[in-house]
Amino acid sequence: MYLDKRNFILAASLILSAGAAFPQSAPPADTAKTHKHHRGNPLAELNLTDAQKEQAKSIREKYRASSEDLRTQMRTFHEQLKAAREANNTAEVDRLNHDREALFAKAKESWTAQRNEFRAILTPEQQAKFDQMKTERGGREGKRNWRSEKPQA
């Protein structure tokens, strides 16, 4: 018993001292550039004029109601899908997945239209920066459809 306790203490002290012996890697010097999506407003980098800001605001307002409606529909689909899975109702799951894909397509169409309208108010330099920011974020096209690409079990 005494030997087990001593071995445990020895092992614990070795682990702790090994952790202290190796320096921790420092975070990148410019975390703002490596984590742009965590900042408040990534569009601030575009240096929009006051007129462009007003146009962007009106574009957002134009699409706000439809976006909220789509979000509500998605939430409803999610709840119905969860209930159908819990009930092991595969026919209902298949029907809901099919309907959800149609809703995703409608949402993507709306997002694309909004982005294109916003992009149209930008100068060529701002458009290039906007495209670069989208590329750095990895884009979003097709990422929401990952479930539909999974093989059915």
Six-digit token string for 37 = 């999506």
Residue bearing the bigger pLDDT, 75 or 144: 75
96 assigned to some structural domain: yes
115 assigned to some structural domain: yes
CATH number at residue 88: 1.20.120
Residue 105: give the domain boundaries.
Answer: 49-141
87 assigned to some structural domain: yes
Q: How many domains are contained in the chain?
A: 1
Around 89, how many Cα atoms within 13 Å sit in the side-chain half-sphere? Answer: 12
149 assigned to some structural domain: no
Band of pLDDT at residue 30, cut at 50, 70 and 90:
low
19 assigned to some structural domain: no
What angle do helix axes 50-86 and 90-120 make, rounded to 10 degrees? 180
Whole-prediction pTM value?
0.57
23 assigned to some structural domain: no
Looking at residue 54, its amino acid is E
97 assigned to some structural domain: yes
81 assigned to some structural domain: yes
Average pLDDT on 3-15 reads 69
* pLDDT at residue 137, rounded to an integer: 78
Q: What is the pLDDT of residues 111-127, one digit of tens each?
A: 999 999 999 999 999 99
